[in-house]
Amino acid sequence: MAFGDYPLEYDPKVHGPYDPARYYGKPDTPFSQLKLNEIGSWFGRRNKTPSAVAGAFSRAFWRWQHKYCQPKRAGVAPFFHVIWCSMALFYFMNYGKMVRHRSYKYHW
């Protein structure tokens, strides 16, 4: 499978039009329905290749797009999501400076 191709499991005759937010592989037990002794085997069945991880992030992004950005009457939620995520990102990027700064006795 090359970059930008359809997933290998996708069959247009069976699945119909392609939806980038849908996983076309073999369905598995949802994580919320697992028992504690099944968690290790569940993680063992996951595909951990970089392309599989990128596909999971892509599906999550498209689900977010379909739910918040692309409805007819989209609200302000996607803007607040982007603002909140950028605030969290810059907080973690500058955390080291803030930790050192709070122990200063005087500010110049």
Query: What whole-number percentage of the chain has pLDDT above 90?
Result: 66
**Among 10-14, 74-78, 94-98, 100-104, which is the least confidently predicted range?**
100-104
Burial pattern 77-101, b for ≥16 Cβ within 10 A else e, equals: eeeeeeeeeeeeeeeeeeeeeeeee
What pTM, to 2 d.p., does this model score? Answer: 0.76
Give dist(CA 78, CA 92) in Å, integer: 21
Q: Using 50, 70 and 90 to split pLDDT, how confident is the model at 108?
A: low
Whether 63 contacts 71, CB under 8 Å: no
- 55, 39 contact by CB (below 8 A): no
